[in-house]
Chains A and B, each alone.
Chain A
Amino acid sequence: MMWRNKWKFRESYVICLGFILTGILLQLTIGPINNKGMAWPFNLIACLLFFFLAGIIIKIYKHSTIVHWLGSYYAALANISGILLITLIMGLIRQTPTFVHLSDLPTHLGLTQILSTWTFFLQMLWLCLILYTATLQRINNLTKRNIPFLFNHLGILIIVVGMLCGSADFQQVEITSKLGKAECIGIDRNDHLQKLPIAIKLNKFSIKFYPPKLMIVDRLSGQVQPKEKPQQLLIDSSFTQGKLCNWDITLKKYLPEAANITTRDSVKFVQSHSYGSTIAFYIEAINKKTNQQRTGWLSCGNFLFPSQTLQLNSTEDIVISQQEPRIYTSDVTLYTETGLIKNEKIEVNKPSHVNGWDIYQLGFDEQRGKWSDISIFRLVHDPWLPVVYTGIIFLAIGAFWGLIIIRRPSKAITFKEEKS
């Protein structure tokens, strides 16, 4: 018990400061961390070695001041403060990708690329050591009350280990496939070209949009009217009539696929199913207050046709918004180096999985919209994911458990309060 009151806040914060200063010195002398050298299997070896050695030291010196301090709330608070400081800097200073090399002071100190700094790494390492020590100490004195503690702390430890070790093996590549062509070269997170062990051939790209919205805008400012509470009308399949500001709007004609024909003095839309067709409406707008009546075509336009608006008065136009995508899907064929050929449908939130790679639907040619002949995919290889998910499950169990074992107030207290 002689260890108990030895190291408290002062010592803990001095050590925290020591970690921060060491991190800054390392940053200034040897530069930011490059985790490439820590890729598989070195990350696993380093991880096992770290926990093996730390475990032995914690076991042998379990009564020493430092080991007891490591498992104490004082060390935890100082470490949380250190992490808070770093994450606050991250939250307040815009971060840049690691391939951006700037020579200004904040970048030199690592403030714009915090995740690559030694300070961040040392705080994370210290966090692992604290969680590991605290977990081992609780396992040695296992009681029912310690179980949620173990799930919570072990969960965080496993997640942090998975993140630290996994960062060297994590690969993320963006690839653009053109209709009918197989593509296997993409751009990685460091903005380098990377050849992948998978080729993607885009067979078909399909997209569905939300119905467009009708609104009145101020011609000069472009602001949707009325300024205080802007109004919009959703033109879905059931729409025939609606009200915008003081205007009664009636839909006279709806062409989901149209092309515009410009004559000498007017613009007209006709049904057209050919490449580049756009959406068009013929509407009637009546202002009962001023008895004004306007009729005309509206279209949001696309890469082939300009948008078409209807002039209501000297300051206001009625327009339709660009359609927002509701769902988009790529029909692809995946080819692997092992000769596997797989036909897949890839959608946002529904990635495909092949040979250790997850393939996500990322984007398309937004200018061409439904006529896009490309699809953009993100390929991710993250072999440490099962480790992180194990930690997530542990932490989730700990969080649920925490909800169950909330301390109840005694009845005596409640009644006393009631009477007071």
Chain B
Amino acid sequence: MNWSYFTTFAVISSILWITGALIAWKKRNVQIAGIFTGLGLLVFFTFIIGLWISYKQPPMRTMGETRLWYSFFLSLVGLLTYIRWHYKWLLGFSTTMSIVFITINILKPEIHNRTLMPALQSPWFAPHVTVYMFAYALLGAATLVTIYLLWFNHSKDKDKKMLMCDNLVQFGVSFLTLGLLSGAVWAKGAWGHYWSWDPKETWAAITWFTYLFYIHYRLIHPKEYRFALYILLLAFILLQVCWWGINFLPSARGISVHSYG
């Protein structure tokens, strides 16, 4: 398996996901929509596993490879949340986001380097990146709900959807925390210190604290949605800075030990 097959796998997955999303939207048959989305996930995951086997290492090193996992987890989170909450628009949102990342990967792959520097050859590598990508996907899904609530939902009763937002954030922050902690333990084993305030670590802390702000704010002002939703939006923007934005920040350029891709 190599990247030249990506477009084929991605197109098949996307068609299955779009079909699932359309069924969810039109017929609202949870099971059939779920089966289509699940099949799409299976096809997409087959490509990831194929790449993993042929590389003899997890495909998680480059930005292109992390986008691969992000697309996968976003659809997975979309499916799980849809099965649990039955919101008809959810699969459409998560599918759109996944396809955006797939398109970026097709147009600008950044996937050529198969070598893995020694510091990345650690048993912590796969769990750290997987947990992070899963957290990003959950928080991405929370952002989609946020956008929906801020600009598309005109019903006054937002309690249930806010509860979904809260749950996605709670899940996401739990995974984010596990990602941070596994990264800290790995950093200790690789570089000697669990926290060096490297630009990536600083921005990871900023993101984490912003989500903690949201969680604490919701506890005292459960009815003030708008401000809380704007915080969530801001948190996701900060998360983007942490994920790829630091490559463009003058304060971080060239000094982060997290620059691989």
Contact = CB atoms under 8 A, between A and B. Distances in A.
Given A388-B194, A409-B163, A399 B213 contact: no
B164 A406 contact: no
Interface in B38-58: none
Given A91-B249, A325-B118, A403-B174, A84 B209 contact: yes
A93 B251 contact: yes
B188 interface: yes
Contact of B199 (A91, A392, A406, A407): A91
Interface residues of A, number: 59
Given A73-B220, A409-B160, A91 B202 contact: yes
Instruction: Specify which of A87, A231, A351, A414 lies most central, judged by the most chain B CB atoms within 10 Å of its CB.
Output: A87
Contacts, number: 138
Contacts of B166: 407
A407 B219 CA distance: 14
Given A77-B216, A84-B209, A399-B177, A94 B203 contact: no
B84 A409 contact: yes
Interface string B182-217: 001100111111110101001101100110110011
Interface residues of B, number: 59
Given A349-B122, A399-B177, A172 B192 contact: yes
B201 to A, nearest CB: 10
B167 interface: yes
B220 A380 contact: no
A328 interface: yes
A77 B214 CA distance: 9
Nearest to B125: A349
B218 to A, nearest CB: 9
Given A115-B197, A229-B109, A403 B181 contact: no
A414 B85 CA distance: 6
Interface in A77-119: 77, 80-81, 83-84, 87-88, 90-95, 115
Nearest to B177: A399
B164 A91 contact: no
B31 interface: no
Nearest to A391: B181
A347 B118 CA distance: 9
A81 B87 CA distance: 34
A315 B129 CA distance: 41
A324 B119 CA distance: 13
B255 A94 contact: yes
A39 interface: no
A406 B81 CA distance: 13
Given A325-B118, A378-B191, A91 B185 contact: no
